[in-house]
Amino acid sequence: MLNAEFILSDPIIYTIAICSTIWFILFQKSHPQRVESLPPGPKPLPILGNAHQIPTKNIQEVYSKWRKLYGGIVHVTVGKQHIVLLNTPRHAFGLLEKQGKIYSHRPSSVMIKMAGLDTTWTLSPYGDTVRHFRKLGRYIMGPQAIGKYEPVQEDEARSFVRALIDSPDELLSHVNRLMSNVILRILYGYSPSPELDAISNAVRHLPVFRRRAKNLCELFQHVHSAPFEMVKKGLDEDIAVGNHSSTNSLCATLLLEGLTGQPGSAGSEHSIKMFLGSIYPPGQETTSATLYMFFFMMGNNPGIQAKARAEIMSITGGHRLPQLSDRTSFVYIMAVFKEVLRYHSAAPLDPFEFKPERFLDIPAKTPDGYPTDPRQYVFGFGRRTCPAIHLAESTLLISIATVLATCDIGPCFNPDGSKIEKFQYTPTLVAHSLPFKCSINAISREIL
């Protein structure tokens, strides 16, 4: 078993801390910095800077090499944009957690403003908007508040498995649909539309987004406003006839309880739109990519899959599906879950060996005080931690448990049928595994 010190002293794990929380600092002409005040890094070229050295594949290997050459904080430039990479837990937690008030800003961008995204949770500069969104997140998406949506998560996990068994060749589509359904049913009370799928695709392919900023601006605004207006209209109609069936969504909760910032102000409803609209694209992308990776790991590690399934069967007796209320009994399942998160954070990394056992008997922190649980760093740091962290965790957990209880996952191959020699990620904003094929067979249809 790998000990706690190894987990967070390995340079690859350092890279996990970086890439899931890469810290961008934009130095504008109006705020010049002296060269000697910048951290060390690879030597830039005139005008281009380090653009030719920024990796588009094997990112983990390049960043790990830079850490060894230049230290825990690495500086690179792309044109006039300065980028600082945090390359150790000490720097990531020290700056983004302990000094979050200073290092929680976001750089300005004409593209972001054109698309109307400069007031979203993800891209808003640090200030009153972010502080307000954090308050909303704690209130409506904390562990207690999100608990009432467990039936939605369990229902969608079961529907996912049924679809998976019927058409296993469409694994990635099923995974994307599952995460879209869960998030949108909880946020707004309904399932996704083609427009929302288009948003997710645009986020995945950011260079395309830049070329189509004007059209996507309209699309983003539609996605932020349309579901909100639908919920608001439903509430107005239901309240008029004394029916309260439309209150079962987070959007409805915010509208009914007046948690919109300054009550009665012109920006109140706008803040709801921006807060909830900030959750879907990144939330759907990251959770889908992680669950897809789970299938790859189970297919290539049949011993781990069998051990995890055995624990599920010992809890359910094989006569029912697992539930989120079973989570206190999940020991090995939680270790698998943590290892999936560690192996596949949102950034494209290479943590070598898939080994859930590393999490079975280790202290909560390393000797130097850093957490060993990947859930405390893969969702971001400090004041920019994902507000939907509890929703993401529980959705992934019940999906993993339901799959293990009902399906056997076979070895994974490239789409052309050849053996996968080396695992690779897509060079996109959110790292996805390259497409693969695996057999998925039902263990028992009766409990579905």
Tell me the per-residue pLDDT of 180-195, one tens digit each, with 9 for 90 and over.
Answer: 999 989 998 877 665 5
In a domain, 37, yes or no: yes
Q: What is the pLDDT of residues 344-391, one digit of tens each?
A: 665 444 756 788 888 888 888 877 777 878 887 777 777 778 888 899
Query: In this structure, what token pair is assigned to residue 284?
Result: 């759907």
Query: Would residue 250 count as lying in a domain?
Result: yes
Q: Distance (Å, rounded) from C-alpha 439 to C-alpha 208?
A: 33
What residue type is assigned to position 160 of the chain? F
Tell me which amino acid residue 34 is: R
Residue 56 has pLDDT above 90, yes or no: no
Whether residue 172 is found in the same domain as residue 28: no
DSSP state of 169: G
Residues 91, 134 within the same domain = no
Q: Is residue 118 one of the residues assigned to a domain?
A: no
Boundaries of domain holding 21: 4-103
Separation of first and last alpha carbons in the chain = 36
| pTM (global) more than 0.95 | no
Same domain, residue pair 93 and 177: no
Number of structural domains found in the chain: 2
Kindly state whether residue 280 falls inside one of the protein's structural domains: yes
For the residues of 10-26, what is the DSSP string, one character each?
Answer: SHHHHHHHHHTT-EE--
Q: Does 386 show up as a binding residue in the annotation?
A: yes
Q: How far apart are CA 248 and CA 251, in angstroms?
A: 9
Task: Please name the helix (run of DSSP H) or strand (run of DSSP E) that holds residue 413, with its range, or none.
Answer: strand 407-413
Q: What is the pLDDT of residue 409?
A: 96
Helix (H), strand (E) at residue 75: strand 73-78
